[in-house]
Amino acid sequence: RKLRASKALGLGKAMQLINARQGDLGTFLTEDEKGKLLPGYLNQLVEAIAVEQQGLRDELAQLSKSVDHIKDIVSTQQSYAGASKLLEPVN
Question: What secondary structure does DSSP assign to the chain, as a single string?
Answer: -TTTT-TTHHHHHHHHHHHHTGGGHHHHHHHSHHHHHHHHHHHHHHHHHHHHHHHHHHHHHHHHHHHHHHHHHHHHHHHHHHH--------
pLDDT tens for each residue of 3-57: 677 888 899 999 999 999 999 999 999 999 999 999 999 999 999 999 999 999 9
Query: CB of 37 within 8 A of CB of 17?
Result: no
Phi and psi dihedrals of 20, rounded to 5?
Answer: -70, -20
Mean pLDDT of 44-73: 95
Domain ranges within the chain, ordered by starting residue: 9-78
- Is the pLDDT higher at 16 or at 82? 16
pTM (whole model) above 0.85: no
